[in-house]
């Protein structure tokens, strides 16, 4: 939708006028890579995704089974807490909402939060409604191609905003775990890696919820 020949500043003015640029953010035309720790080199033959916790039945999908699940694609604006936003990013993968509505995952009525567990112990937490919204995806592809290794191949969570801002809630991009290996449904909330390190638990970019104010 945005013309790629426009300069960065012109593109930024355009999204700002469309009310798509959250406070304190600036537009990037690149795709920065950010994470803590090393990049895992996953063997797909060993890979699985485990669904556990407050669910009627625990589920484990290997790569082949995961790729048979219903798929969807979504275009979103993504907002990193380090102040870059990237617009009209195209992701393909599996929607958690679809998995729940079609009975592939059966959360118990007690399930209120979900923790994403990633390789090397990275975790991030969201309310169940957020991870089940249309603006959250379990993504295998970015821009028509399998994810780059450094962006989370083979599977990552992605959270963003729609161009028309029709989503009810969103969060900064760290709430999408790269190299995702499990989803834990929980009755109580459990702060993840950055959330324990002082980042805001809700992380709404429109409210600039970057850091928890615990030391002010
Ligand atoms: N497994 C894992 N996922 C992660 C992180 C991490 O350190 N480990 N960092 C998060 C943060 S802080 C951000 S901003 C985004 C960055 O995603 P990108 O590298 O694709 O831009 O990934 C998130 N997911
Ligand atoms: Mo981040």
Superfamily of domain 2-207: Oxidoreductase, molybdopterin-binding domain (3.90.420.10)
User: Is the per-residue pLDDT at 208 higher than 50?
Assistant: yes
Nearest to 32 by CA among 74, 80, 93, 92: 80
- Burial of 95: CB neighbours in 10 Å, binned 0-12, 13-18, 19+: buried
Residues with CB under 6 A from ligand 1: 32-36, 80, 118, 122, 151, 173-174, 176-179, 194
Query: What pTM did the predictor assign?
Result: 0.96
Share of the chain above pLDDT 70, in %: 96
Of 17, 22, 15, the C-alpha closest to 204 is: 22
7 CA to middle of ligand 2, Å?
25
Dump pLDDT digits (tens) for 111-167: 999 999 999 999 999 999 999 999 999 999 999 999 999 999 999 999 999 999 999
pLDDT, tens only, 58-88 = 999 999 999 999 999 999 999 999 999 999 9
3 has a pLDDT exceeding 90: no
Domain boundaries, the chain: 2-207
Question: Ligand 1: which of 33, 170, 174, 195 to mutate, judged by most atoms within 8 Å of the beta carbon?
Answer: 174
Residue closest via CA to ligand 1's atom 9 equals: 35
Question: Is the pLDDT assigned to residue 214 strictly greater than 90?
Answer: no
**Is residue 134 helix, strand or coil?**
coil
**Residue 43: its pLDDT value, please?**
97
Nearest CA to ligand 1 atom 22: 174
Distance in angstroms (rounded) separating the CA atoms of residues 214 and 57 = 38
Find tokens 């990037």 and name the residue.
28
Average pLDDT, the chain: 96
Mutate which of 34, 118, 172, 210 for ligand 1? The one with the most ligand atoms within 8 Å of its CB, which is: 34
Q: State both tokens at 42.
A: 């996953």
Q: How far apart are CA 64 and CA 49, in angstroms?
A: 11
- In this prediction, residue 216 has a pLDDT band, given cuts at 50, 70 and 90, of very low
- Measured from the Cβ of residue 96, the count of other Cβ atoms closer than 10 Å reads 23
pLDDT at 213: 74
Q: Over 50: is that where the pLDDT of 183 sits?
A: yes
Under the banding of pLDDT at 50, 70 and 90, the label for residue 4 is low
If we measure between CA atoms, which residue out of 205, 172, 210, 209 comes closest to residue 19? 205
């Amino acid at each position: 939708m945005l013309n790629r020949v426009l300069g960065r500043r012109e593109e930024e003015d355009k999204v700002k006028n469309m009310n798509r640029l959250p406070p304190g953010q600036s537009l990037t035309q690149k795709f920065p890579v950010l994470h803590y720790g090393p990049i895992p080199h996953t063997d797909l033959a060993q890979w699985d995704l485990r669904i556990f916790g407050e669910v009627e039945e625990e589920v484990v999908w290997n790569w082949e089974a995961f790729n048979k699940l219903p798929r969807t694609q979504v275009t979103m604006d993504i907002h990193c807490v380090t102040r870059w936003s990237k617009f009209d990013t195209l992701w393909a993968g599996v929607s958690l909402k679809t998995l729940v509505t079609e009975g592939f995952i059966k959360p118990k009525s007690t399930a209120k939060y979900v923790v994403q567990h990633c390789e090397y112990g990275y975790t991030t937490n969201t309310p169940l409604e957020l991870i089940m919204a249309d603006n959250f995806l379990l993504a295998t592809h970015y821009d028509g191609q399998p994810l780059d290794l450094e962006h989370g191949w083979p599977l990552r969570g992605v959270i963003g905003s729609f161009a028309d801002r029709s989503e009810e809630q969103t969060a900064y991009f760290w709430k999408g775990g790269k190299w995702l290996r499990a989803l834990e449904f929980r009755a109580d909330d459990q702060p993840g890696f950055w959330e324990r390190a002082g980042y805001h638990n809700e992380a709404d970019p429109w409210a600039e919820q970057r850091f928890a104010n615990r030391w002010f």
